[in-house]
Amino acid sequence: MKKPLQNKFGKGLDIKESPKTEAEREEALFIDTIETLEHIWFAEHQLGDEFGIDLTAFSQYYYHAIENLVVAKYGYDKADVIWWWVLDRFDEEGELIEIEDEDGKIYLLKTPKDLWKFLKKT
């Protein structure tokens, strides 16, 4: 579908195909959710750092509800990895921290898609 439309309307036409399978939809939803959580987390901390606005008392209940949903969907172990990735994957110098699986293999999870693939392996 994408190719014929681009042929008709030009290569500059930006078309995003919706996922075809349930697995593709689940992956797309996961990536979107993680990107959203990441954005919220960094924006909240930026407000605190730049303007001295602390939203913790307000947002803690939202995070708690989201955490419960993540645990319900993925289980406690995978939820721990997800929250580590969102909240703690950078060290004090801003460098990505590697994660080790149960077999001792080291991974560097740069993107939500990397996180998705890691969780699918474990």
Closest by Cα among 31, 36, 33, 37 to 114: 31
User: What DSSP letter does each residue of 40-72 carry, written as one string?
Assistant: HHHHHHHHHHHH----HHHHHHHHHHHHHHHHH
Q: What is the mean pLDDT of residues 30-57?
A: 93
pLDDT at 56: 87
- Separation CA 110–CA 97 (nearest Å): 10
Neighbouring residues of 66: CB distance < 8 A, sequence distance ≥ 6: 37
Say if residues 28 and 19 touch (Cβ distance below 8 Å). Answer: yes
Report the b/e string of 42-80 with b at 16+ CB within 10 A: eebeeeeeeeeeeeeeeeeeebeebeeebbeeeeeebbe
Residue 36: pLDDT band (50, 70, 90) is: very high
**How confident is the model at residue 88, as a pLDDT?**
95
pLDDT at 7 over 90: no
Q: The tokens of 92 are what?
A: 């004090």
